[in-house]
A and B are shown apart, each in its own frame.
Chain A
Amino acid sequence: MKKLAMAKSVLFPEFKVIRDTDRCIACQVCVRQCANDVHHYDQDDDTVSCQDERCVGCQRCVTLCPTNALEVKKREVGFHPNANWSVQHIRNLYKQSETGGVLLSGMGCDQPYRIYWDHLLLNASQITNPSIDPLREPIELKTFLGAKEEMLDIDWNQDFPVIKTQLAPQLELNLPILFSAMSYGSISYNAFHSIVEAAREVGTHCNSGEGGLHPDFYPYGKNIIVQVASGRFGVHRDYLQVAGAVEIKIGQGAKPGIGGHLPGEKVSLEISQTRKIPEGSDAISPAPHHDIYSIEDLQRLIFAIKESISYEKPVSVKIAAVHNIAAIASGAIRAGADIVAIDGIRGGTGAAPQVIRDNVGIPIELALAQVDERLRQEGIRHRASLVIAGGIRSSADVIKAIALGADAVYIGTATLVALGCHLCQKCYTGKCNWGIATQDPYLTKRLNPSIGKRRLVNLMRAWAFEIKEMLGGMGVNSIQSLRGNKEHLRTVGLTREESQILGVKPAGEGW
């Protein structure tokens, strides 16, 4: 990044570090733990001081301070209030005029677009069709992802009903939640380790992302969906053989239309060996797959992969939620995808140009509703499972997604937050203070995989129970009964068009 040689930067610090001197004991834990060198210890007067301009607001020092002496806040800038020229816009202008570069950012879109999950409400049983108590009755959350048959030929004459039709390969999940695609490279070895361990223990799947799969994780292969992205990083025979499923990544919600980006700072020796690229070089995936220029090309790739895995595993296609998403999804299914994964505008990333992250794509709620509707109209909804991603924050979002038509959801940002992420959005620097989005061996130690796994398993267990509570409250004892059942949803605070696009009645309307 080029900087103006002599002139003073007009950029002001983003964060303010407030130290309560009555509580500070100059123990230097903050000094040691900040990867950005914000805190300094002065030996002469035994005090710790800070350089606010380096702070990224990750809250690491605040969390670890043994006397709770620190507070990190967004600095209040004294600009004249201006609804149009927000502080964010002004900062970006200063930055770009000083560097001439594309502004990068990490994690998902943080702009105040409407969040449709917050405008969807669930039903509950009252007098008739009573609620089910999940502590007393079993509630089925098990989910199968893969192509379903139109008709099943069943032999009723045996001791048990026997399905004579050969079924397409399925992924079996204990609950309708998977861990989203986060490449080893964008996240650390320890973070990836926590995720695969949790996936195995919970009985669900995680996704390798486009960074290939480290050989240490081959034993977990059955619980991993491996990705074949436009850069084809780390794709080789063993990679496809150990996996539980294969996913062709066409696009991702954070940056539809462009490829993945792993800055050179994060390409360590291990990453370079896993991705099969030179150490220290930027790993930039091309925007398109250079062998896919038509839907037939996609069909060819899908079947090439199916052949190589002997049709034993489902093949998924991941697309970003853009304007014509319904047609694209339909095309992907007709091209042979067993699972279609759709990633909305709120999806996260390790590094993306800020303008693209915040302005390209559409909310997943609208995309999902339209895709589900379109596929049902075309009569092909059963030919693939729909998995959606992009800003699922709680078990309520999961249930609403299922009710809108999804078979399962991917959680990305929520996974990282469970591991300790504080959403400072500086993943692209490789200096993640929590040991998640970094390859620096000093920082990656901070994420103990056994603690990480425990936290993720706890999260999944908590959400599974909350989902059961909500299902039970609706009088439904199987997640399958809720799938695409939009009658259990109502909208509130949306325009009539929005409600219609979602296919959900406004609150107040009855059956």
Chain B
Amino acid sequence: MKKIETDYFIVGYSVASWWCIKSIVENDSFCCIQAISDEKTVYSRPLITYGLGKTINSIAYHGTLEESSQVQVRYETKVKQLDVNRKLAFLSDETEITFNKALIASGGVPILPEISGHEIPGIFTFTRRKDMANIDAFMKKNSSKNIVILGGGFIGLKTCEAMMSMNKNLTLIELAPRLLQNMLDEEGSYYLEKSLLRSGVHIIKEDTIVSFENEKGKLSDVLLKSGRRIPADIAVMAIGVRPNVDWLRSSNIKINRGILVDEYQQSSCPGIYAAGDVAETCHLLTGERNVVAIWPEAVNQGRIAGWNMSGRVVSYLGSLPMNAVEVGEKALVSAGIVNPTDDNCEIIIKKDRENYKKLVIKDDCIVGVIFIGDIEKSGIYINLMRQKLPVQAFFDKLLEPNFGLINLPTRYRKHLVKGAGIEV
């Protein structure tokens, strides 16, 4: 049993941790940081779908990581037990770490429903590098013409995107009446489906898998709730991820769906912070509690946690869900609240055969954006949403094809650049 003392202890070494460490080192140049990761190497997790589809050769992350000697990372290590009161952690490699401040950034784990036959080879989740390696290895050794993807959410679609370039029979199964239930509205999802159908993807909605069937020990079909039977050589469970908090159930940290944090990214236990897919923050626009498991959030939350941990008090305004995906030549961007339940919202839509643009406006501010087709200017609207800029003055111009910074108030666009930039 090795005993180590450190100023900062980081659980998990992915996006949120990278940015947390960067912020800490900025403020505290002489501290000691110990980080652990249950992976073998550093890589960019969202790239696994591109790695499988052979779009790129390597899924390594080429961005900047903090390389100073203050940081030490242990790979293939987990926390066996966390004592939040004594600020002590027992690791899987028999080390005992005492720390002053800790960040929990253990990410998410795939949602795995109990389906009979789930132990048959050929059934995979797809959230980690080893999943990508396993699927790749399986495809090389076995015939894998028919692929079934369970889950029509963001992860299911990214998996679909990866496999579309591999000349397979793809079937996408979704429980809800439409794809991307949370990210799109009914009309928008129609554009998405049309694009997927054009690319030859078979879509089944309002259904789910009740059992996996095998033939001679190998996966042969999936049986659906509706009674249909779909041939399958490979099945990917891509329903979604949930925060990786099971290992913390025994500690005192307040957990809802994820670790509950305040506006300083601190959990209910003083000195213990959380960021990224594991944290449950407040929605930027509604203030409601939510887990927003996307890369930009991991960056922001990790950075804020790092500052607060190292003594610079900064509060986080809240999380904004947003995502971009392109399947079958149709790009789509969705951000904010796109299916408002509130009657006080005004919705404006501009659409034609190839493009669909929808804005949800409440109290004179943009609260939801869906862009399908031409997504180039979406960043402007998302920033307006983030800044909560009133849109009354240029409301008529909002969905015009040439809408741009020129339509915004001059004072706003002249101060838009972050830091010392050149004004527009």
Q: Is A–B contact present in the complex under a CB 8 A cutoff?
A: no
Question: Hey, which bits of chain B sit against chain A, CB under 8 A?
Answer: none
